[in-house]
């Protein structure tokens, strides 16, 4: 058996609906908005432009360097440094001087370079076993040791006579100094017996004799202070002290003063030694004290004198370049007793034309770079120039002359 369905009209399917609708509904565009990054770039551009304008009108400037034509001049004159002057008198070519002083003392030990040959000496006991009568021996009487060394007595002596005790003659005796006949260490002999060769061939030769009980000493070569040693010691100390005193005076004067070697006076206050010429010693001590004084003057006074002289010589439309002043001086005549120095001065200096900076700024105001350059090149008193504009994009010299800086270069 067959089923019967109701036939119902089909609904339009989706595909048919889509085909039947206008295309604008099928492809409907989405709504778009301006993104934030684009707004940011616009803001930054505005800041950049505003900053440029601000910098241009706030920090714009021109740095201009000019080198004017310079002329080197020199002159020579004589000036007097005087202790009597209390201040400079340029009309009379006088500047004041000052005296500075310093005392120095030094002592030092020096070796003795001299030498002397010494004779040995000692004490002997001389005996008279000949008689009870005394016996005179003249100065320089000889005594010969058992080893054959000859000694002499320096002065006349009298040997007492002997005396008897219990029938026996007891010899008279006397202690006396003897000196070796010749210098040398060979005469430093040990205790021994001595005979008197002057009595040879006579009975007295046997009964007059001598003995030593201690060694002879002092023979040989010993050091001795000479006059040359003393003079050399003084010279060495004087040289050292003079150098030290000069350095001390230079320090005391400082960099502001001039101290000429010819204006330095040094005197010996004390010169002494504990020994004299001929003293036997290996070393000796020498002491020296000196007083140094110098007549000095200020460098600034010389420079001021130069400025004053130059000012009277240069023309009104010229200017002095003070840093260029160079001075050379030498002593022509020195009289330390009267406290005067005659100096021969040589000065050199540079001058340059007067530049009216204010007028030049006005002339350069609001000029282009090339116009400013040509204007400066046409200035007869200017040998060269250099222009720098800030910021870098600036093409003209600022109109405001307060923003135009002109530097005069002389080196």
Query: Both 203 and 266 in a single domain?
Result: no
> pLDDT tens digits for 88-140?
999 999 999 999 999 999 999 999 999 999 999 999 999 999 999 999 999 99
Q: Is residue 309 in some structural domain?
A: no
Query: Both 239 and 108 in a single domain?
Result: yes
Round to whole Å and give the CA distance between 121 and 178: 6
Cβ contact 328:345 at 8 Å: yes
Query: Both 123 and 218 in a single domain?
Result: yes
In this structure, what CATH number is given to the domain that contains residue 127?
A: 2.40.30
pLDDT score for 18: 45
Query: Both 276 and 147 in a single domain?
Result: no
Domain boundary, last residue among 281, 296, 311: 296
> Which residues on neighbouring strands pair with residue 110, listed in sequence order?
284
Q: Is residue 400 in some structural domain?
A: no
- With a cut of 60, say whether residue 20 has pLDDT above it: no
Q: Is 32 left (phi over 0), alpha (psi -120 to 50) or beta?
A: beta
Query: Both 107 and 149 in a single domain?
Result: no
- With a cut of 90, say whether residue 1 has pLDDT above it: no
Round to whole Å and give the CA distance between 320 and 311: 8
> pLDDT tens digits for 46-66?
565 555 454 555 679 999 999
Domain boundary, last residue among 296, 312, 340: 296
Domain boundary, last residue among 164, 187, 222: 222
> pLDDT tens digits for 261-319?
889 999 999 999 989 999 999 999 999 999 999 999 999 998 899 888 888 888 888 89
Query: Both 248 and 105 in a single domain?
Result: yes
Query: Both 163 and 141 in a single domain?
Result: yes
Query: Both 204 and 133 in a single domain?
Result: yes
Q: Is residue 311 in some structural domain?
A: no
* Number of domains composing the chain: 2
Domain with 289, as residue range(s), is 99-112+224-296
Query: Both 126 and 187 in a single domain?
Result: yes
């Amino acid at each position: 058996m067959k089923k019967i369905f109701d036939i119902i009209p089909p609904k339009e399917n989706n595909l048919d609906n889509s085909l039947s609708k206008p295309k604008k509904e099928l492809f409907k565009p989405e709504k778009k908005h301006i993104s934030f990054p684009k707004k940011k770039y616009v803001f930054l551009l505005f800041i950049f432009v505003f900053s440029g304008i601000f910098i241009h009108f706030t920090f714009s400037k021109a740095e201009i360097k000019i080198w004017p034509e310079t002329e080197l001049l020199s002159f020579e004159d004589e000036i007097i440094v005087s202790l009597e002057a209390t201040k400079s008198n340029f009309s009379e070519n006088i500047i004041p001087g000052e005296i500075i002083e310093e005392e120095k003392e030094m002592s030092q030990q020096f070796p003795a370079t001299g030498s002397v040959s010494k004779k040995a000496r000692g004490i002997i006991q001389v005996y008279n076993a000949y008689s009870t009568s005394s016996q005179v021996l003249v100065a320089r009487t000889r005594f010969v040791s058992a080893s054959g060394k000859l000694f002499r007595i320096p002065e006349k002596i009298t040997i007492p006579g002997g005396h008897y005790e219990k029938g026996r003659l007891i010899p008279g005796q006397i202690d006396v100094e003897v000196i070796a006949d010749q210098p040398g260490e060979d005469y430093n002999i040990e205790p021994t017996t001595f005979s008197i060769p002057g009595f040879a061939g006579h009975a007295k030769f046997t009964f007059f004799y001598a003995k030593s009980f201690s060694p002879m000493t002092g023979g040989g070569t010993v050091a001795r202070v000479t006059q040359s040693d003393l003079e050399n010691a003084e010279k060495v100390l004087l040289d050292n002290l003079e150098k030290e005193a000069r350095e001390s005076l230079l320090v005391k004067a400082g960099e502001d003063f001039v101290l000429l070697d010819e204006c330095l006076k040094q005197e010996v206050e004390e010169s002494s030694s504990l020994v004299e010429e001929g003293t036997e010693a290996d070393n000796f001590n020498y002491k020296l004290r000196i007083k140094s004084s110098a007549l000095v003057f200020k460098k600034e006074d010389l420079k001021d004198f130069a400025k004053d002289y130059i000012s009277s010589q240069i023309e009104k439309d010229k200017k002095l370049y003070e840093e260029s002043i160079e001075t050379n001086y030498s002593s022509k005549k020195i009289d330390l007793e009267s406290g005067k120095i005659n100096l021969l001065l040589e000065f050199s200096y540079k001058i340059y034309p007067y530049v009216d900076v204010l007028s030049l700024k006005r002339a350069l105001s609001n000029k282009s770079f090339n116009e400013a350059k040509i204007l400066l090149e046409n200035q007869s008193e200017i040998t060269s120039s250099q222009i720098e504009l800030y910021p870098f994009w600036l093409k003209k010299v600022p109109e405001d002359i307060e923003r135009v800086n002109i530097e005069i270069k002389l080196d």
